[in-house]
Structure 1
Amino acid sequence: MSENTKEELLTEIEKLMAYGKEEPTINPSLLKYLDLNALTEIRDKLKERSATLKEEDKEWLQQFRKED
């Protein structure tokens, strides 16, 4: 995996936080004060959560699928 810059991590975290259905647990303006390790960990947790949300969305959409 390539080394991410702090700016890249902040941008990715911001996008992942926007995808979620719940309010973020950390104020986005505070993220810029965290180090790269902390930001990487936050990003990875948000990716896990977004994968779960995508699966929930698929399940929800299945109810509208027409039966053949």
Structure 2
Amino acid sequence: MRLSAGQSAEVTTAFIELLGAHRSRQPQRCTCLDVGRRYLYESRASGFRREIEIDRDGLVVTYPDFWQRG
């Protein structure tokens, strides 16, 4: 998203279960905490929040309580 530190963007993503046919829209907000490295993910539909870490290509490296890329 190329956000500056402290800048936020509201987006809608799709959640697709791999083993099922369930799909859902997920309204969310992403706030840049550290340019090119850390973002705060917040669901706009619930109180869910996680700080995620990305790599230089913008792909998620760490998603606390769910997974970490090896």
TM-score (norm 1): 0.22
TM-score (norm 2): 0.21
Larger Rg: 1
Per residue, is there more strand in 1 or in 2?
2
